[in-house]
Chains A and B, each alone.
Chain A
Amino acid sequence: MVRYTIQRIALIVLTLFLILTINFFLLRLMPGTPFDNPKITQAQKELMMRKYNLNDPPFVQYTRYLKGVLHGDMGVSFKLQDQPVTELILSKLPHTVKIGAQALAFGVIVGIIFGALAAIYRNSGIDHAVTILGVLGVSIPSFVLAAFFQYFLCAKLGWFPFLYSPVNLDKGITLWKSFYSTILPSFSLALFVISSTMRYMRSELVEVLNSDYILLARAKGLNKSQVIVRHALRNAMIPVVTIIAPMAIGLMTGSLIIERFYGVPGLSSLMVNAVNTNDYFLILGVNMFYSLLFIVVVLIVDLLYGIIDPRIRLKGGEA
């Protein structure tokens, strides 16, 4: 297990390197420069290009950039007063991760619970409600949901704040208040996760409950809840864990829009602005962090899989 984990981490480094390289050259292939503002004169532009050494051959720039990255320097933003990219990202990242992680955790847990209930009480009211919610959840885009929430829950009822507010004790925004403001953005993102997990969990558990080993567990004299807790849930959750990774991608793309809606000062605005203005190093940096987030989620899921399912537990380390 340990060896496998190390191998995977080495692969992550390689993957990030490839992503960085491809992105670097793709950006240079795009038309225009970071300084195409019509208000800037040709001379000013030339000055800027020299300042950032953008006139060098791409390969020279690439090796220079790579050297910097290896030393933890991801370059500076051209547009945001030469602020270091790393600093910019690190200041925004927590908000994105917070909303995303909340959405994922809440979505998966609620999805598993509802899905399990639907399977256990099959063909009951709960089951039908779960089916309807599942169809709605996967078919309503998150931005429609966000608009809907803002209209009803914020504007009409006034239950929730419109905007996300980070913790700021000087302005009287406590941890709880800040958390309260993350509920709507998280939930807008989570509905998709809830419904996918729920539908998956339901069908898996229904199948497991009809399996021979469940019948055997009942024949041993276990009662219904013991059978479900000890034997059914874990087996039903194995395939559910696999869809967490693709859902994490869904969350990241979804967050680009949701962060706009709720004014979350996260990576999405940084990324969109950077792309619009050809802010090379910033684009590269944000891309790399998104990739890193995703790869880490996939790694965690793969490791979890091994923990849940003994059949694919890795050689070289028992348990």
Chain B
Amino acid sequence: MKDKILEVKDLEVSFRTYAGDVQAVRGSTFDLYEGETLAIVGESGSGKSVTVKAIMGLLATNGYYKNGSIMFEGNEITEMKERDMHSIRGNKIAMIFQDPMTSLDPTMTVGKQLTETIKLHHDVTKKEAHDRAVNLIELVEIPEPASRMKQYPHQFSGGMRQRIVIAMALACEPRILIADEPTTALDVTIQAQIIELMNDLKEKLGVAVIFITHDLGVVANVADRVAVMYAGRIVEIGTSNEIFYNPYHPYTWGLMTSMPDLETEGKLLAIPGTPPNLLHPPVGDAFALRSEYAMEIDFEEAPPLFKISETHYAATWLLHEYAPKVTPPAIIVKRKERFSEVSE
């Protein structure tokens, strides 16, 4: 196995509001290895974005680290001063945001926004920064990079802008690239192009990627490993194949059965109910209320992460040795069978 470059342990993040503390992340644990792509999937409000913003130290002013640790290059990010974070952000950990239409400064040329990042973290001359920026634009496959440098964001299309944002994120050759739903706001053909570009760049530059999305189709295309988040916790984590073809958590089952594949027949299934209110998170397993597999203990105590394989963990009491054996939904079972046929 490759080296760990990021270690997130029992991370808890809350936001102070007038109604009380919203516990957006309630214990996330995962590692990121060099050069891999880890996808974090989950519904809106499951804490995916907050988790990565916590890694960047970019929580909103009312947010705070309640517990846990984020280790990066021997530094504890949760305890770092804002001043010290400046040399990490954009330099060692960079981020791409969801909506390229709004994530560039409309009053500054694209070139200036690119060179700004380069000059910030490297001691370079204007000329060097400029040449580097031109190379970056070339790297993200935008034609005529030199003349594009002088243009403003409104002269670019959505897909092109996202390429610029990616170029900006890669400007300082970061070790970790965090992509917060980078394709959600794009139309499908552009989505495919951006994903292809990101996969290429990952190969080329060897950067580790945390890819947040709620689109399982995208996950299948990009991820080496997948973490499933629900109500502020990572409920299952494993390699792509493990999550897609051999999931253990009832929530992952729900997610997978709500996604059609080529073999899907009849009606798609939806997960009943809505995610819990994180102002008052439920005791025990947060998914129990919506799960037909819930047991008594699910309402009393939150399940720990049970180890299924070296790479595969799931937080459900169903994996406890005393738990009754349950069969996953038919679709999951079928998929698993198909997968084992293919892999044999």
Contacts and interface: CB of A to CB of B under 8 A. Distances in A.
Contacts of B116: 220, 222, 230
B152 to A, nearest CB: 4
A222 to B, nearest CB: 7
A310 B90 contact: no
A234 B98 CA distance: 23
A223 B83 contact: yes
B86 A223 contact: yes
Contacts of B90: 219-222
Interface string B79-108: 000110111111100110111001111111
B120 interface: yes
A216 B178 CA distance: 12
A212 interface: yes
A319 to B, nearest CB: 9
9 contacts: A212-B99, A213-B102, A216-B95, A217-B105, A219-B97, A221-B117, A235-B106, A309-B106, A310-B154
Nearest to B93: A219
A238 B106 CA distance: 11
Classify the secondary structure of A's interface with B.
helix
A221 B88 contact: yes
B120 A308 contact: no
Given A219-B56, A308-B107, A310-B109, 13 more contacts: A212-B103, A213-B102, A216-B95, A216-B97, A216-B165, A219-B58, A220-B94, A222-B86, A230-B108, A235-B106, A310-B107, A310-B154, A311-B106
Nearest to B100: A212
Nearest to A309: B107
B40 interface: no
Interface in A194-231: 211-213, 215-224, 230-231
B121 interface: yes
Interface string B107-121: 111000000110011
Contacts of B85: 221
A297 B2 CA distance: 65
Contacts, number: 75
Interface of A: 211-213, 215-224, 230-231, 234-235, 238, 308-311
A308 B152 CA distance: 13
A310 B58 contact: no
Nearest to A235: B107
- With most chain B CB atoms within 10 A of its CB, the pick from A213, A221, A234, A311 is A221
A59 B258 CA distance: 83
Contacts of A211: 102
B106 A213 contact: yes
B58 A215 contact: yes
Contacts of A215: 58, 97, 103
B103 A220 contact: no
A217 B103 CA distance: 9
A308 B103 CA distance: 19
B117 A213 contact: no
A213 B83 CA distance: 20
B105 A213 contact: yes
Nearest to B87: A221
A216 B104 contact: yes
A231 B89 contact: no
A210 to B, nearest CB: 9
B58 A221 contact: no
A146 B152 CA distance: 47
B121 A213 contact: no
Contacts of A234: 107
B89 A220 contact: yes
A212 B108 contact: no
A223 B87 CA distance: 10
A231 B103 CA distance: 12
A224 B61 CA distance: 13
Contacts of B83: 223
B168 interface: yes
